Amino acid sequence: MIKTLLSISLSLFLAWTSMGQSCTPDQTYADSTAGVYPPPYDPMESPQGGIRQCAIIGQPFSFDFTVVVGDTIRFGAFAFPLDSIRITEVQNLPVGLNYVCNPPTCSFLKNTVGCANLFGSPTSTNSPGTYDLKIIGEAYINGSSLPFPLEFPNAQLAPGKYTIHLLADDTTPCPVTAVSEAFRGKMHMLITPNPASEQITLKISSMFSGNFHLRVIDLLGRSAHQQTLGLQAGESSIQISCSDFAPGLYTVVLSNADGYLTEKLVIQN
């Protein structure tokens, strides 16, 4: 009887996911290091990461993660043979949002690429603000039938946060630009043109003077360009050649010892 009920429940779940929301893995990550893409947002490790779009109360929301599974999993200094990982829960989602996976069971075998999709419409029972998510799961290691508990993001696997910015309505600006509190309201950066193919101009407005480190990094954190800028308070324009950048999504990071500022850049053919 229990097996029958479990079978019916699984069949209903699979039917629901097949008729409803789903996702397609981003194959540009297929040859990437094992992990979840985009990675969690971290100002030093992955300023280009995180959930880079806002949710609005009462409006549809959808965001995809691509999951790249290798054949080992590392905890600290130790690596263990991996059979599979499974997502069991996403904590702290705003009411009205849910998740589905591809494969529908949310079990990802080793050496495969899958995805998970956050979807739904946040209800008015939510308070506008930030929601830091935790992905809860388990890893099956070296043929064992007993899973090892996982929590992601975490300092060992990937530092940072997955944050959903929930807005009251579509007139509220979405904070898509990552900025430290030290720079908030005191420094702005505009990239033109964007998308670009040959050259970009950074238009920087700053209340600070001093030396800043400028980096352009890709989705894997690799540096495509870097230089030191001596900025004066006021308006500045910086030209950067991007003709040798591969097409894709980049992050422009302007930082010093006090803070950082980032903007997205799209390179196209």
Residues whose CB falls within 8 Å of the CB of residue 59, separated by 6 or more in sequence, listed in order: 121, 122, 170
**Phi, psi values for residue 29, rounded to 5°:** -95, 0
> For residues 31 and 211, what is the distance between their CA atoms, to the nearest angstrom?
37
Confidence (pLDDT) at 178: 54
Distances (CA, A) of 41 to 61, 70, 192: 19, 22, 24
Per-residue pLDDT of the chain (269 residues; tens, 9 = 90+): 444 444 434 443 443 343 456 788 888 788 778 889 888 988 777 776 788 788 889 998 888 899 999 998 877 677 889 999 999 999 999 999 999 999 999 999 999 999 999 999 999 999 999 999 999 999 999 878 889 999 999 887 788 899 998 988 877 766 555 555 567 678 888 999 988 989 999 999 988 888 988 888 876 667 889 899 998 999 999 999 999 998 888 888 888 877 778 888 888 87
Confidence (pLDDT) at 13: 42
Would you say domain 187-267 falls under CATH 2.60.40.3080? yes
The CATH number of 23-167 is which of 3.40.50, 2.60.40, 1.20.950, 2.10.25? 2.60.40
What is the distance between the terminal CA atoms of the chain, rounded to a whole angstrom?
59
H helices of the chain, in order, are 2-19
DSSP state string for 3-64: HHHHHHHHHHHHHHHHHS------GGGTTSPSEEESPPBBTTTBTT-S--S-EETTS-EEEE
Confidence (pLDDT) at 101: 95
User: How many helices and strands in the chain, by DSSP H and E?
Assistant: 1, 18
Instruction: Read off the tokens for 221.
Output: 């954190």
> For residues 35 and 160, what is the distance between their CA atoms, to the nearest angstrom?
13
Confidence (pLDDT) at 143: 77
> For residues 154 and 143, what is the distance between their CA atoms, to the nearest angstrom?
25
Q: State which amino acid sits at residue 127.
A: S
SS3 state at 209: coil
Q: Are 167 and 124 in contact (CB under 8 A)?
A: no
Domains 23-167 and 187-267 in one fold? yes
Using CA atoms in the order 250, 254, 257, 258, what is the torsion angle rounded to 10 degrees? -110
Q: Are 268 and 197 in contact (CB under 8 A)?
A: yes
Taking the domains of the chain in order of start, what are their residue ranges? 23-167, 187-267
Confidence (pLDDT) at 253: 84
Q: How far is CA 83 from the centre of its chain?
A: 25
pTM over 0.75: no
Eight-state DSSP code of residue 2: H
Q: Are 164 and 130 in contact (CB under 8 A)?
A: yes
Confidence (pLDDT) at 180: 59
> For residues 23 and 62, what is the distance between their CA atoms, to the nearest angstrom?
10
Confidence (pLDDT) at 173: 63
